[in-house]
Amino acid sequence: MPNAFSRAGAVVIGVGNEFRGDDAAGLIVARRLREQASTQAVVLDWEADPAGLLEAWMDANLAIVVDTVVSGAEPGTVQRFDASTVPLPARLAGSSTHALGVAEAIELARALDRLPGRTIVYGIEGSSFSAGAALDPTVERAIDETLTRVVAELGVRP
């Protein structure tokens, strides 16, 4: 039975916590994408444990995941990874504020043969994750850049 989340064949999942500063970046990308006049994907805000991503992208041909990362890059740096065939870089494992991070969820899905045919991860480098913190201005700019790149990736036409 097809997953109601991924009926469109493509799913974009913004991961994060809206109350922890820069950790909200993925959620904001997803919310802004949903506001686009025409999207060609199911768009989800994901504040739950990333292990649930395995269900969220089930039956999707393309999954695009956007999350805040801590990899040592400058805050606001946007990194794109094609996780379809190779593991995410080790520096991203354990960089989540969640119990199980996105990188670990992707590798679990790969091991269980539950990874979509195309899985793209956008990581926005964050710097402030304190409860109630505001977004860093460089992260705010990175959200706009990431949204533009995700729209292009989907082939969305305004």
Q: Count CB-CB contacts under 10 A for residue 54.
A: 15
User: Percent of the chain beyond pLDDT 70?
Assistant: 86
Q: At 29, which CATH number?
A: 3.40.50.1450
Cβ–Cβ under 8 Å, residues 40 and 10: yes
pLDDT over threshold 80, residue 129: yes
Q: Which two tokens stand for residue 42?
A: 């199911």
When mean pLDDT is compared over 14-23, 40-49, 147-156, the highest value belongs to: 14-23
Domain of residue 126 covers: 4-153
Q: 158 lies in a domain?
A: no
Q: 43 lies in a domain?
A: yes
Pairing of strands 78-82, 10-15: unpaired
Q: 131 lies in a domain?
A: yes
Q: Which residue has the tokens 């990431």?
A: 146
pLDDT computed for residue 2 by the predictor: 39
Q: 42 lies in a domain?
A: yes
Q: Exposed e or buried b for every residue in 129-154, given b needs 16+ CB within 10 A? A: beeebebbebbeebbeebbebbbebb
pLDDT computed for residue 62 by the predictor: 94
pLDDT computed for residue 156 by the predictor: 63
Q: 93 lies in a domain?
A: yes
pLDDT over threshold 50, residue 3: no
pLDDT computed for residue 1 by the predictor: 31
Q: Exposed e or buried b for every residue in 7-35, given b needs 16+ CB within 10 A? A: ebebbbbbbbbeebbbbbbbbbbbbbbee
**Count of domains forming the chain:** 1
pTM of the model: 0.88
40/84: higher pLDDT = 84
